[in-house]
Each structure stands twice: as C-alpha cells, then as structure tokens.
With several copies, the nearest count.
Chain A
C-alpha cells in the first residue's frame, strides 16, 4: 500500500479516434521507437435473448484499479524493454461501435511492443476491478461477463 498518486487511466465515455491519433502523433519525436502495438476494445452490439446491446456502462473501484494498474505497469516495464506504454479505459456509457479500451506500447523492435501489448490487455481484463453493464434497446440491462 502506498499513498502516492498513481497514473490515471480512466476517461469519461468513449475513447475518440482523434484522441488515439494525437497519442500516436506525440511519438514522432521519439526517434528510437521502431514499433508501436495498439489494442482497441470496441463495444459490441451482441444479442442476448433477442435483446440487442446498445451500450456498456462501465464502473470501477478506482483506488484499487489504479494501484493494480501501477503494479502491472511496473511488471511489464521490468519484463520488456519498452520505450513507453499508455493505457486508457472508459468509465460511464460507451455506445456500441465506440472504443472503450486503448492499450499502446512502443519499443525499438516489434517483438517487445507486440508481446507487451498482448500481455497488458490480458492483465487488464483479468485483474482490474472494472465492471461493464450491458444496456439493451429496451433499457433493461445485464452485467457483462468476460471470456477468459
């Protein structure tokens, strides 16, 4: 346990494509980077018993999530020679077709960037206290279950 402020990963609502573009653009000054790996989670319009998902409403236990993300980040940087890593996850309502998760790793060579990105995505899904509530057309809802 620590009292220090951990890096924020949560953003309100969907992650826009221009936000992603800006994040990519910022790396053009880091000319030791040779490879970026990006994962984007997009809200699916699944059907459950004839009801269609129109959005997912995300909530979190923020203090625990940021502490856990800090641990994950330290573990990943210890394991892979990354130049940088950026993580963003939505809170609140994200409509079907919109982006709710943005994982962005950069390294000198592709292997590290790709492997680190995949590992971080798995850890986020498995270890971060975040809950998605699937909202249907008729305003009913169902709590999302991640496939692991």
Chain B
C-alpha cells in the first residue's frame, strides 16, 4: 500500500505537487521515509497537515488520510 502526499510552495518545486510514498502508520515514520526517498527535503523546514489540520505531534495516518507538506506560509 502507498500514501499520496501533496506538496506546496518551495516543496512542490523540489519534489512535485503530488508524491507517492510507502505506506506509514504515523507522521513520524512518514517524515523518516520522506527523508530517505527525497534527501533534498532534509534541510527544508515544513509542517505536515493531516486532513487539512497542521499536526501538533506524532499523528496516526492511514490510506484515507489527506496528507500535505507545507513550507512556511507567505500570503498577503
């Protein structure tokens, strides 16, 4: 099974708007997997949103989770 992950801003420029990663059970393991799959992400600051909410700590995920990688916001 695999997870679909959206990326935005600077991150989208580096890894593309939509990426596929091996299925993970929580966001901490997702982060590790992303670092393996996309070594260029390691030095970049980003937040993870699950179901359109930025996670406060490690969060369980499944195939139905809507996952997004968000670099610092710069609207306005």
Q: Do chains A and B touch in the complex (CB under 8 A)?
A: yes
- Interface residues, chain A, CB within 8 Å of chain B? 1, 41, 58-61, 63-64, 67-68, 89, 100-101, 121, 124-133, 143-146
Q: Are A127 and B73 in contact (CB under 8 A)?
A: yes
Residues of A within 8 A of B76 (CB): 41, 89, 100-101, 121, 124-125, 130, 146
- Interface residues, chain B, CB within 8 Å of chain A? 6, 8-10, 12, 49, 51-52, 68, 70-76
Question: Which residue, of B12, B51, B73, B75, has the highest number of chain A Cβ atoms within 10 A?
Answer: B75
Interface of A is mostly: mixed
Residues of B within 8 A of A128 (CB): 73, 75
**Closest chain A CB from B41 CB (angstroms):** 15
A-B contact count (CB 8 A): 68
Interface of B is mostly: loop
Residues of B within 8 A of A59 (CB): 8-9, 12
Q: Which of A1, A129, A131 contacts B10 (CB 8 A)?
A: A131
Q: Are A143 and B49 in contact (CB under 8 A)?
A: no
Residues of B within 8 A of A67 (CB): 52
